[in-house]
Amino acid sequence: MRDPKRIDRIVEALREAWKRTPDQRLGQLVICLMDNPEDDPWHVEDSHWERLLVEWVEKHPLDSYTGYQWGDRVRVGNETWIPLLYHGRVTRWVLLDRGD
């Protein structure tokens, strides 16, 4: 049997994560949290969701407007990354070019 105490922990982590992007719908937040949006969330263990939510909260402080704009590109070494934004906040980074 799974630990019923996990429910309160996960719900609280979800509350804190969602506060950081309040204009997102729940489904949008879930997709942003997933390691690979192509994965089926049906098979993701609760402990993994909890870890993703906690990491999201740590990476996205409240009122964390970044100043990035649509179309910005960031070079890291040979790689080019673009931010996916939601109301001025970076929800995730996408690798555009490895520079190979």
Residue 14's domain comprises 1-63
Dihedral over Cα of 13, 16, 17, 23: its sign: positive
Q: Are residues 1 and 26 in the same domain?
A: yes
Q: What are phi and psi of 26, to 5 degrees?
A: -55, -45
- pTM to 2 decimal places: 0.60
Tens-digit pLDDT profile for residues 30-83:
888 887 767 788 888 999 999 999 988 888 766 555 566 677 888 888 888 888
59 in the same domain as 70: no
Indicate the number of domains in the chain.
2
CA atoms of 83 and 74, how far apart (whole Å):
8
What value, to the nearest 5°, has the Cα angle with vertex 91 and ends 70 and 17? 145
Alpha carbons 17 and 7: distance in angstroms, whole number: 15
